[in-house]
């Protein structure tokens, strides 16, 4: 834990250094604000405009979390079904991979045509980007169960159901959490994309408006908060992982 | 509880592994199976455990045929195979958990006897090799089954720990005397622990010779220095040499 804090601190210092360099370059070259604002301009805009931005932010947070939970639940359910029914797996797994080749940008307008501008098409988009990392990670996790533990369970007379819930599932938890971390960062991206295409509120909406009126500083405010949101979700998942995954990180202490 | 194996034959494709094997474990008896590596000892256990079905012959438990039936034996593997995410206490109740509600009080008592009381809430990664094997043995003991099958349980331990573990195993076993089928490739280990030894031939395996061990219980390590112990060891060594000399 201590180590992570030090590492995080170093990253933060480096980020600050980059911002400082950026600020310096903007001032030296006298770049106009509408082309590329300095970090100080972005920060100023963020504080001035926060009361307006706040609502958009809240809406995106809501959307990302609901989408993430939904996408992950669907992903986990699919992976469990596919793992326990190998025949279904043979048919569906290639289709799942294909589904990831449909570009979200193309799919999103279609979903809006079919389902309107409500919550549903947005949640579908977020779930679609979130579920895949979970499916792949958890299926790999289930498959990579230590063979000697499986052999022990079979010799001890465990049923396939017991082998799954007592051995394969807990064994796969670290892998599932890796998938969750990827999904968490994707979910914010999915939320913003879905808002681009039609919504009343959200960082995506704020961003489109800012862009069309050449308020590049506001675009950067949006980008900053998207990153912050991703990092927060990532952190929450990490925290959950610490609470749930036990007895396996001895080397990291 | 008694286990009787009659004319057991098993081959994998063209490769015969067991041929016409006959053996018996009586109630409260400690039986060791001694054989060169690759002689099909593990296959024998998998047949008894029901993971494999024999090509021929029967496996009987209390006069009842159990070919291919799982869950009738307690098992302790060569490597401890503890679940890393379970604490020691949760690990030892696992075998019992598969068959119903485990008795945590009994588990705590056994852990205490094994000197592992303070490690109840530790994870396996915090234990030494010997401790892990003790946990694995207690897990097998807590299973509801009355036949314990131990598959070379101490072969991965160093010499000092192994002798300590053998004495510990006997002391625990003296108290409840579940029937034990103990697989090993160490002659001394078999002589020190068992009531009877079956020496297996090389593959395809059959019982080459059956030896009843005359030493009284409880035993201690001074036994190893005795003349009778040495003589029996030489005798068994001779049998095993015959098997190995036949090789290529």
Q: What is the pLDDT of residues B194-245, one digit of tens each?
A: 999 998 888 788 888 888 888 888 888 788 888 888 888 888 888 888 877 7
Of the candidates A162, A170, A248, the beta carbon closest to that of B98 is on: A162
Nearest to A247 among B97, B99, B124 (CB): B124
Facing A156 at nearest CB: one of B45, B75, B79: B75
Which of A144, A150, A157 is best to mutate for the B interface (most B CBs within 10 A)?
A157
Token output for A84: 């326990």
Which of the pair, B177 or B246, is modelled with greater confidence?
B177
Q: What is the DSSP letter of B205?
A: B
Query: Using one digit for the tens of pLDDT, what is the confidence trace for B41-58?
Result: 888 889 998 888 888 888
Taking the C-alpha atoms of residue B97 and residue B91, their distance in angstroms, rounded to an integer, is 10
Q: What is the pLDDT of residue A249?
A: 60
pLDDT given for residue A147 in this prediction: 92
ipTM of the complex: 0.89
Residue in B44, B75, B140 to test binding to A, most A beta-carbons within 10 Å: B75
Per-residue pLDDT, A2: 63
Phi, then psi, of B218 in degrees rounded to 5: -70, 145
In chain B, count of helices (H) and strands (E)?
8, 10
pLDDT of residue B63: 82
What is the Cα–Cα distance from B159 to B156, expressed in whole angstroms?
9
Let me know if B32 is exposed, middle or buried by CB neighbors in 10 A (0-12, 13-18, 19+).
buried
Query: In chain A, what residues touch B74 (CB-CB under 8 Å)?
Result: 156
Contact B117, B148 (CB under 8 A): no
The tokens for A102 are: 């449909």
Kindly give, in sequence order, each residue whose CB lies less than 8 Å from that of residue A18, ignoring residues fewer than 6 positions away.
none
Res A253: pLDDT = 34
CA distance B244 to B34: 13
Residues of A in contact with B77 (CB under 8 A): 148, 151-152, 155
- Partners of A246 on chain B (C-beta within 8 Å) are 85, 123
**Percent of chain B scoring above 90 in pLDDT:** 20
Q: Whole-model pTM?
A: 0.84
* Peptide bond preceding B218 in cis form (omega within 30 of 0): yes
Per-residue pLDDT of chain A (253 residues; tens, 9 = 90+): 566 677 778 888 998 999 999 999 988 988 888 888 888 888 888 888 888 888 999 999 999 999 999 999 999 999 999 999 989 999 988 888 888 888 878 888 888 889 888 889 899 999 988 989 999 999 999 999 999 999 999 999 899 999 999 999 999 999 999 999 999 999 999 999 888 877 788 898 999 898 888 888 889 999 999 999 999 999 999 999 999 888 776 443 3
Asked if the model's pLDDT at residue B248 lies above 50, the reply is no
Separation in Å, CA of A147 to nearest CA in chain B: 10
**Count of CB atoms within 10 A of residue B168's CB?**
17
Q: List, for residues B76-100, the tens digit of each pLDDT value.
A: 998 889 999 999 999 999 998 988 8
Question: Which two tokens mark B90?
Answer: 């949760």
CB contact under 8 A, A170 and B85: yes
Coil, helix or strand at residue B75: strand
Chain-chain contact of B51 with A152 (C-beta, under 8 angstroms): no
Token pair listed for B73 = 């034996």
- pLDDT (tens digit, 9 = 90+) per residue, B118-177? 999 999 999 988 899 989 999 998 888 888 999 988 888 888 888 888 888 888 888 888
Q: B81 to chain A nearest CA, in Å?
A: 5
Mean pLDDT of all residues belonging to chain B: 87
Smallest CA-to-CA distance from B46 within B189, B207, B181, B199 is with B181
Taking alpha carbons only, the member of B74, B172, B80, B76 closest to residue B132 is B80
Burial A193-220 (b: 16+ CB within 10 A, else e): bbbbbbbebbbbbbbbebeeeebbbbbb
Two structure tokens written together for A223: 């980008």
CB atoms within 10 A of CB B247: 8
Q: Could you tell me where the DSSP H helices lie in B50-103?
A: 88-92, 94-97
How many Cβ atoms from other residues are within 10 Å of residue A142's Cβ? 21
Please give, rounded to a whole number of angstroms, the shortest distance from the CA of A142 to a CA of chain B.
15
């Amino acid at each position: 834990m201590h180590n992570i804090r030090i590492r995080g601190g170093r990253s933060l210092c480096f980020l600050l250094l980059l911002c400082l360099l950026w600020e310096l370059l903007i001032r030296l070259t006298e770049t106009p604000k509408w082309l590329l604002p300095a970090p100080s301009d972005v920060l100023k805009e963020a504080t001035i405009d926060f009361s307006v931005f706040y609502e958009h932010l809240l809406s995106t947070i809501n959307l990302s979390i609901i989408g993430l939970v939904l996408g992950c639940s669907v992903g986990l359910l699919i992976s469990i079904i596919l793992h326990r029914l190998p025949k279904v797996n043979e048919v569906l797994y290639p289709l799942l991979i294909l589904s990831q080749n449909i570009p979200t940008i193309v799919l999103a307008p279609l979903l809006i045509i079919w389902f309107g501008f409500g919550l549903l098409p947005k949640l579908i988009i977020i779930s679609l980007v979130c579920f895949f990392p979970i499916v792949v990670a958890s299926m790999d996790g289930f498959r990579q169960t230590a063979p000697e533990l499986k052999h022990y369970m079979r010799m001890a007379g465990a049923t396939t159901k017991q082998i799954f819930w007592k051995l394969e599932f807990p064994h796969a938890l670290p892998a599932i959490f890796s998938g969750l971390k990827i999904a968490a960062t994707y979910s914010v991206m999915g939320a913003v994309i879905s808002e681009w295409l039609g919504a009343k509120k959200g960082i995506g909406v704020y961003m489109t408006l800012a862009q069309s009126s050449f308020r590049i500083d506001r675009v950067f405010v949006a980008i900053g908060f998207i990153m912050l949101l991703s990092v927060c979700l990532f952190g929450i998942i990490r925290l959950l992982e610490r609470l749930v995954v036990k007895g396996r990180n001895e080397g990291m202490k | 509880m008694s286990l009787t194996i009659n004319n057991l034959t098993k081959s994998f494709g063209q490769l015969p592994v067991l041929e016409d094997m006959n053996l018996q474990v009586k109630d409260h008896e400690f039986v060791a199976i001694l054989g060169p590596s690759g002689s099909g000892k593990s296959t024998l256990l998998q047949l008894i455990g029901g993971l494999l079905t024999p090509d021929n012959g029967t496996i009987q438990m209390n006069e009842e045929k159990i070919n291919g039936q799982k869950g009738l034996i307690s098992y302790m593997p060569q490597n401890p195979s503890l679940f890393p995410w379970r604490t020691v206490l949760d690990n030892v109740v696992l075998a019992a958990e598969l068959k119903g509600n485990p008795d945590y009080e009994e588990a705590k008592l056994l852990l205490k006897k094994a000197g592992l009381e303070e490690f109840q809430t530790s994870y396996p990664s915090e234990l030494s090799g010997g401790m892990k094997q003790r946990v694995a043995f207690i897990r097998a003991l807590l299973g509801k089954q009355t036949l314990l099958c131990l598959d070379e349980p101490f072969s991965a331990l160093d010499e000092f720990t192994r002798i300590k573990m053998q004495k510990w195993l006997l002391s625990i076993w003296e108290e409840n005397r579940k029937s034990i089928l103990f697989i090993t490739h160490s002659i001394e280990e078999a002589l020190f622990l068992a009531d009877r030894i079956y020496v297996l031939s090389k593959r395809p395996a059959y019982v080459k010779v059956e030896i009843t061990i005359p030493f009284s219980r409880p035993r201690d390590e001074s036994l190893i220095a005795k003349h009778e112990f040495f003589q029996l060891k030489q005798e068994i060594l001779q049998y095993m040499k015959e098997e190995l000399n036949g090789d290529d």
